[in-house]
Amino acid sequence: MKIAIIGSGNVAYHLALAFHENHFFVSQIIGRNKKALEEIHQRTGFAYEIDFNKIKPADVYIIAVKDDSISESASKIKVKNTLVLHTAGSVSLDVIPQNFRRGVIYPLQTFSKNKKLKYNDIPFFIETENEKDKETVMELAQIISPKVMYADESTRNQLHLSAVFACNFTNHLFAIAEELCHQKNIPFEYLLPLISETTEKIKNLSPKDAQTGPARRNDLPILKKHISGLDGNTKKIYEIISQNIIKTYH
């Protein structure tokens, strides 16, 4: 099975490394960022190409580009009726042109360029237009991780939405906490043991049961005190999340 990856961003980078780590050969990586492609090449030995008119034939193309470039990238593939997969959480497989066998291979993880990942820990959610391609995509994902599940579009959307709350928004709360620390010259590192414990806890306890803090206790004097020290969006975020915690538990 000949696999090509289209893209030169973080997802393409980590997919290439993950295949390489599992001794699986990717026949070509096509992307716009030459420097990024060279780095992938150095780490994996995989051939790369920056000219989208020189995409070589392959059995499966994995398109790991920005959501709104998937359609255009796919249109550069000249092999008819081949299997074309995108990697996006909240995009329908319909954005891939109809002349392909279409599918999705969605890794539920946050990818940063120079951050090592345990690839076999990543859950992959796959979807295929045709039943007969299901097994192929399943096996492809299983090269990287044993955690491969089938998820239809609406389930995948919901997974992505959940991930936005659990990962992207959580990180933004860390950024707000960091900013609050810096206002008083407090090193943000002081918060790291607390943050570790917060995520450690929910490995064995539902987050609903793990909730603590002033809003959980409905401690109105503390809430009032905290709100008085905030302004703008940070204040609004404090208010709405506290309100929702109180609503959930009281």
Q: Can residue 113 be called a binding residue for a second copy (CB under 8 A)?
A: no
| Binding to a second copy in span 195-234, by CB under 8 A | 195-199, 201-203, 205-208, 210-217, 219, 221-222, 225-226, 229-230, 233-234
CB of 63 to a second copy, least distance (A): 17
Structure tokens at 206: 């539902």
Interface segment toward a second copy; rule CB under 8 A; list 31-39, 98-106, 131-139, 143-151:
143-151
Classify residue 73 as exposed, middle or buried by CB count within 10 Å of its CB (0-12, 13-18, 19+). buried
The footprint of a second copy on this chain (CB under 8 A) covers a number of residues equal to 93
Nearer residue to a second copy within complex by CB, 32 or 226: 226
Nearer residue to a second copy within complex by CB, 4 or 108: 108
Nearer residue to a second copy within complex by CB, 47 or 123: 123
Q: Can residue 109 be called a binding residue for a second copy (CB under 8 A)?
A: yes
- Structure-derived torsion over alpha carbons of residues 238, 240, 246, 248, reported in degrees to the nearest 10: -130
Interface segment toward a second copy; rule CB under 8 A; list 37-45, 73-81, 134-142, 178-186:
178-186
Half-sphere exposure of 99 (CA within 13 A, CB side): 8
Binder among 57, 139, 164, 218 for a second copy (CB under 8 A): 164
How far is the C-alpha of 36 from the C-alpha of 52, rounded, in Å? 16
How far is the C-alpha of 86 from the C-alpha of 59, rounded, in Å? 14
How far is the C-alpha of 162 from the C-alpha of 225, rounded, in Å? 31
Binder among 66, 135, 139, 150 for a second copy (CB under 8 A): 66
Residue found under tokens 């703008």: 232
232-249 vs 220-228: helix crossing angle, rounded to 10: 170
Nearer residue to a second copy within complex by CB, 79 or 241: 241
